[in-house]
């Protein structure tokens, strides 16, 4: 007959804790009660080390003792039974699983002495291998906020701030309370083979989970929540300079970015690792900033990244790439998303757009990076803002391919209006757009709505199977606006009911434009020009 202790350990490691009956749990606690038997198969019950499960008790030292005993035994399972535990920093060691039983909750201690110096987090690991945090338990960061006047100008949203001021928006915003611990919930540094599974992490004062310079990260079935109005800097999962990452089957609701990839500078002269080989799939996401994000901290490259099969609801943006520090972002696929957008308060990044890609320099000394080889396909989005793909005048975004996009433009739900075009490409080279439809709200309209599709300083572009019109049926604004473009083919596309001018060409450098096989019977005018000279720049059937 198999050893009962081994069977029980396998059940926990395979996520089968919910199947354990009272009799089996009894065998766990019996095994854990013998702290002298330190074998890898042993389960270390934190209550056997003095943790009471009473929230009023400072449980940090008792749980640390269970972890150290487990580490001394060569690894195993630190078991947390149902109860409420107030804890500071808990550092995981090699080959340890921290298992949070359903009904177990860790509350973040508010006492600085409960935290390890240099480790501003509840769960911490560094230079550890084969570690995991599992179970149906909860980690609560008890974040607190105050509503105060704006303290400084955020450079990245300075335009949006000015628009909000001019519209008469209340310029107060939420900040973290000085009485709240400025603490992350999980920090994992320089570790290999890390698993987070089935746990719930809520109310983080800062980023919820941060991985830095790790290899082989697996996050499955987690629930993350921070307040959508107040949760400043409370990102869901930050992947920093790490490789071989899979995030799946999770529900993440955050004030700040849900899942964000970064390559952060760790100091002058310190090598920064890339982010590579990342898959994010089968998640349900809500964010007051960006659910799926690359950047802005971009000191090393990003490559071979897939965002797929996600439902995005009630968010301030769909997905984004923001390069400011000289990195190259390449070989990215963003596919199979449904997106619903709603504008947030002025201090959040985003305008309820499908996407924002931008390439710029953080300051005069920053290197100029690249964004290239990006595929976006199979997207259905209900947007309220202008989607933008904007390269730098000295470095265009290169090789962007967008296929099968349905954009439904809804009216803005705030008084500080920002929206113009449905989607705009600027400073882009080698652009392919296929099967793009833009439909504007008929019930409520915005006076500032403009073109469905705008291209400016774009070279080598193909637009096939586009359908749409301008935002305002009665206006002379074109459905497609071309400004300073060259080598552009627009073919097999359709002007929809209410279209004024289908294509308008402007800009002195526009040339080599071909219109072929387009259906324009529903447009009042097929083609217009800023001046007569530009007529020679277009070949049209």
Please give, one letter per residue, the 3-state secondary structure of 226-282.
Answer: CCCCCCCCCCCEEEECCEEEEEECCEEEECCCCEEEEECCCCCCCCCCCEEEEEEEC
Determine the pLDDT at residue 182: 87
Q: 170 CB contacts (<8 Å, ≥6 apart)?
A: none
Nearest to 533 by CA among 510, 513, 515: 510
CA distance linking residue 334 with residue 379, whole number of Å: 9
Dmax over CA atoms of the chain, in Å, equals 91
- Which is more confident, 18 or 182? 182
List the alpha helices (DSSP H) in 55-154.
Answer: 60-72
CA distance linking residue 246 with residue 82, whole number of Å: 29
Whole-prediction pTM value? 0.91
Nearest to 506 by CA among 479, 529, 480: 529
Q: Residue 269 to residues 86, 205, 266, 290: CA-CA distances in angstroms?
A: 39, 31, 9, 31
> Is-contact 468 498, C-beta < 8 A?
no
Write out pLDDT tens, residues 327-352: 999 999 999 999 999 999 999 999 99
CA distance linking residue 322 with residue 272, whole number of Å: 18
Write out pLDDT tens, residues 284-331: 999 999 999 999 999 999 999 999 999 999 999 999 999 999 999 999
Determine the pLDDT at residue 181: 80
Nearest to 190 by CA among 244, 129, 232, 136: 129
E strand or H helix that includes residue 15: none
Share of the chain above pLDDT 90, in %: 88
Burial class (CB in 10 A: 0-12, 13-18, 19+), 269: exposed
Instruction: State the average pLDDT over residues 404-431.
Output: 97
Write out pLDDT tens, residues 35-76: 334 444 589 999 999 999 999 999 999 999 999 999 999 999
The phi and psi torsions of 6 (rounded to 5 degrees) equal -65, -40
Determine the pLDDT at residue 18: 35
CA distance linking residue 366 with residue 360, whole number of Å: 9
CA distance linking residue 388 with residue 359, whole number of Å: 11
Write out pLDDT tens, residues 157-209: 999 999 999 999 999 999 999 777 889 999 999 999 999 999 999 999 999 99
Instruction: Please check the confidence at residue 531 and state whether its pLDDT lies above 90.
Output: yes
Determine the pLDDT at residue 19: 33
Instruction: State the average pLDDT over residues 425-448.
Output: 97
Report helix, strand or coil for 49.
helix
Determine the pLDDT at residue 41: 58
CA distance linking residue 275 with residue 44, whole number of Å: 35
Write out pLDDT tens, residues 478-518: 999 999 999 999 999 999 999 999 999 999 999 999 999 99
Going by pLDDT thresholds of 50, 70 and 90, the confidence category of residue 419 is: very high
CA distance linking residue 499 with residue 474, whole number of Å: 9
The mean of the pLDDT values for the chain is 92
CA distance linking residue 339 with residue 286, whole number of Å: 10
């Amino acid at each position: 007959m198999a050893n009962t202790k081994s069977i029980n350990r396998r059940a926990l490691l395979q996520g089968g804790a919910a199947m354990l009956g009272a009799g089996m749990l009894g065998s766990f606690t019996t095994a854990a009660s013998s702290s002298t038997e330190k074998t890898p198969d042993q389960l270390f019950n934190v209550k056997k080390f003095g943790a009471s499960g009473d929230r009023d008790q400072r449980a940090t030292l008792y749980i640390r003792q269970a972890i150290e005993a487990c580490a001394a035994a060569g690894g195993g399972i630190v078991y947390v039974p149902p109860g409420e535990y107030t804890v500071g920093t808990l550092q995981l060691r090699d080959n340890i699983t921290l298992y949070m039983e359903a009904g177990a909750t860790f509350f973040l201690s508010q006492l600085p002495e409960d935290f390890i110096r240099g480790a501003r987090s509840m769960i911490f690991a560094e230079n550890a291998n084969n570690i995991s945090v599992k179970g149906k338990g909860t980690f609560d960061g008890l974040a607190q906020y105050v509503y105060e006047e704006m303290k400084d100008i955020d450079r990245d949203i300075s335009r949006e701030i000015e628009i909000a001021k001019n519209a008469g928006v209340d310029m107060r915003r939420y900040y973290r309370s000085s009485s709240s611990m400025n603490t992350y919930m999980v920090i994992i540094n320089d570790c290999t083979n890390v698993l987070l599974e089935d746990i719930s992490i809520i109310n983080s004062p800062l980023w919820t989970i941060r991985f830095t310079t790790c290899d082989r990260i697996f996050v499955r079935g987690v629930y993350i929540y921070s307040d959508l109005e107040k949760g400043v800097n409370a990102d869901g999962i930050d992947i920093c300079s790490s490789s071989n990452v899979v995030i799946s089957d999770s529900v993440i609701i955050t004030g700040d970015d849900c899942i964000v990839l970064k390559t952060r500078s760790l100091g002058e002269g310190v090598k920064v690792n890339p982010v590579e080989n990342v898959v994010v799939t089968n998640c349900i996401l809500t964010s007051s900033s960006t659910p799926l994000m690359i950047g802005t901290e971009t000191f090393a490259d990003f490559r071979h990244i897939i965002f797929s099969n996600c439902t995005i609801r009630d968010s301030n943006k769909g997905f984004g790439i923001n390069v400011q520090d000289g990195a190259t972002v390449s070989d990215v696929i963003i596919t199979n998303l449904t997106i619903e957008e709603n504008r947030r308060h002025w201090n959040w990044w985003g305008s309820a757009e499908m996407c924002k890609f931008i390439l710029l320099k953080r300051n005069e000394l920053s290197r100029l990076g690249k964004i290239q080889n990006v595929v976006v396909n199979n997207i259905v989005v209900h947007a309220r803002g202008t989607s933008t793909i904007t390269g730098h005048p000295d470095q265009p975004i290169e090789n962007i391919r967008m296929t099968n996009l349905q954009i439904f433009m809804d009216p803005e739900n705030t008084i500080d209006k920002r929206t113009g075009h449905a989607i705009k490409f600027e400073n882009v080279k080698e652009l392919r757009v296929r099967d793009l439809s833009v439909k504007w709200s008929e019930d409520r309209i915005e006076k500032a709505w403009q073109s469905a599709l705008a291209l400016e300083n774009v070279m080598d572009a193909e637009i096939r199977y586009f359908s749409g019109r301008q935002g305002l049926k009665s206006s002379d604004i074109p459905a497609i606006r071309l400004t300073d473009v060259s080598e552009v083919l627009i073919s097999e596309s359709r002007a929809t009911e209410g279209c004024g001018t289908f294509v308008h060409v402007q800009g002195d450098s526009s040339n080599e434009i071909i219109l072929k096989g387009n259906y324009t019977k529903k447009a009042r005018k097929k083609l217009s020009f800023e001046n007569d000279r530009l007529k020679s720049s277009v070949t049209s059937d």
